[in-house]
């Protein structure tokens, strides 16, 4: 199964669950806000730097386009976590969910680092690179890793994920459905394997034709949530609209 991680596995499952009974889907807005105490290796830092300030896929105005990675910073209020600043990151969600649900407006995935200096630093880095300044990211990885080891001591072990789908119901009325995951006591990093665990359980217990599948086509959100039992992870859903900022994304040239 492909994409059996937080994104697009869990994010897509959350989006599919919310969009399932909508007559028309107008937007799918996802965000992940990891706890700052989690371990982050050099490979992750290098990957994040690779697309900051560069084009990443977004579904905008009903079609696949590109915007700038780590741009469009905004404040997002998450139940149980509080306010977290988030910015656009690179995922497969736009390419998968946009055409699948014929989303009219946008599909985006944003991330918010708990340490403000890290979040703002990436946004500034994105802005400078967008101006045409060239960087040797290989030389930046080790210093940034050192700084992170210091900064993480001032952060928490709580993280969250949010998926909100807005659109029209069968009667044409506007509606917004939101799913929230809150992880405590350092269990946030375990979230990334939950979709994979659900897929493995499905393959072990159910007949599945051989072939390649997207995780979201094999397991739904309820099956993934079952894998979270025993961890300090709780999920909830409501119809309250989250804070949305209709600012324009910085489109890539």
For residue 55, CA distances in Å to 17, 45, 88, 134, 233 come to: 29, 18, 10, 15, 33
Of 13-17, 142-146, 173-177, 232-236, least confident by mean pLDDT is 13-17
Give the Cα separation of 71 and 54 in Å (integer).
Answer: 10
Q: Which two tokens stand for residue 170?
A: 């069968």
Helix (H) or strand (E) holding 151: helix 137-151
Q: Is the predicted pLDDT of residue 249 greater than 60, yes or no?
A: no
Give the Cα separation of 239 and 242 in Å (integer).
Answer: 9
Q: Is the predicted pLDDT of residue 207 greater than 80, yes or no?
A: no
Give the Cα separation of 119 and 125 in Å (integer).
Answer: 10
Q: So what's the pLDDT on residue 252?
A: 60
8 or 185, which is more confident?
185
For residue 245, CA distances in Å to 36, 53, 237, 242 come to: 25, 20, 21, 10
Q: Which two tokens stand for residue 151?
A: 């900064």
Q: Is the predicted pLDDT of residue 94 greater than 80, yes or no?
A: yes
Place of tokens 């997002």: 76
For residue 133, CA distances in Å to 7, 13, 44, 130 come to: 30, 38, 22, 7
Q: Is the predicted pLDDT of residue 243 greater than 80, yes or no?
A: no
Among 89, 106, 94, which Cα is nearest to 27's?
Answer: 106
* Average pLDDT value for the chain: 85
DSSP, collapsed to helix, strand or coil, labels residue 33 as strand
For residue 73, CA distances in Å to 48, 240, 241 come to: 16, 22, 19
Q: Is the predicted pLDDT of residue 13 greater than 80, yes or no?
A: no
Q: So what's the pLDDT on residue 238?
A: 75
Strands (DSSP E) found in 2-91: 24-33, 55-60, 63-68, 74-78, 82-88
pLDDT band at 220 (very low <50, low <70, confident <90, very high): confident
Q: Is the predicted pLDDT of residue 90 greater than 70, yes or no?
A: yes
Q: So what's the pLDDT on residue 72?
A: 93
pLDDT band at 251 (very low <50, low <70, confident <90, very high): low
DSSP state at residue 241: P
Mean pLDDT of 49-65: 93
Phi then psi for residue 234, to 5 deg, are -130, 150
Q: What is the CA radius of gyration of the chain?
A: 18
Give the Cα separation of 107 and 66 in Å (integer).
Answer: 11
Q: Report the percentage of the chain scoring pLDDT > 90.
A: 44
Q: So what's the pLDDT on residue 69?
A: 96
Output the pTM of the full model: 0.84
Q: So what's the pLDDT on residue 10?
A: 76
DSSP, collapsed to helix, strand or coil, labels residue 240 as coil
Q: So what's the pLDDT on residue 160?
A: 93
Q: So what's the pLDDT on residue 234?
A: 92
pLDDT digits (tens, 9 = 90+) for 108-165: 999 999 999 999 999 999 999 999 999 898 899 999 999 999 998 889 999 999 999 9
Q: Which two tokens stand for residue 125?
A: 């880095």
pLDDT band at 4 (very low <50, low <70, confident <90, very high): low
Q: So what's the pLDDT on residue 241?
A: 41
């Amino acid at each position: 199964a492909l994409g059996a991680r937080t994104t697009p596995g869990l994010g897509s499952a959350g989006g599919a669950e919310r969009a399932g009974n909508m007559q028309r889907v107008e937007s799918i807005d996802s965000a992940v806000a990891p706890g700052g105490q989690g371990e982050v290796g050099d490979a992750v830092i290098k990957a994040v730097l690779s697309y900051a300030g560069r084009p990443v896929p977004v579904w905008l105005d009903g079609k696949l386009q590109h915007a700038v990675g780590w741009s469009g910073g905004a404040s997002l209020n998450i139940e149980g976590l509080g306010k977290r600043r988030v910015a656009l990151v690179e995922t497969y969600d736009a390419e998968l969910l946009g055409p699948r649900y014929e989303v009219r407006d946008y599909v985006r995935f944003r991330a918010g680092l708990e340490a403000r200096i890290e979040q703002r630093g990436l946004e500034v880095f994105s802005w400078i690179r967008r101006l045409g300044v060239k960087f040797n990211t290989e030389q930046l990885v080790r210093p940034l890793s050192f700084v992170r080891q210091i900064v993480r001591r001032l952060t928490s072990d709580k993280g969250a994920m949010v998926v909100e789908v807005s659109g029209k119901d069968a009667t044409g009325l506007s509606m917004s459905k939101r799913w929230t995951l809150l992880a405590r006591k350092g269990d946030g990093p375990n979230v990334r394997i939950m979709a994979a665990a659900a897929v493995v359980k499905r393959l072990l217990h159910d007949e599945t034709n051989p072939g390649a599948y997207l995780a979201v086509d094999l397991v739904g959100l309820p099956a993934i949530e079952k894998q979270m039992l025993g961890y300090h992870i709780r999920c909830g859903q409501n119809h309250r609209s989250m804070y949305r900022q209709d600012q324009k994304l910085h489109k890539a040239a």
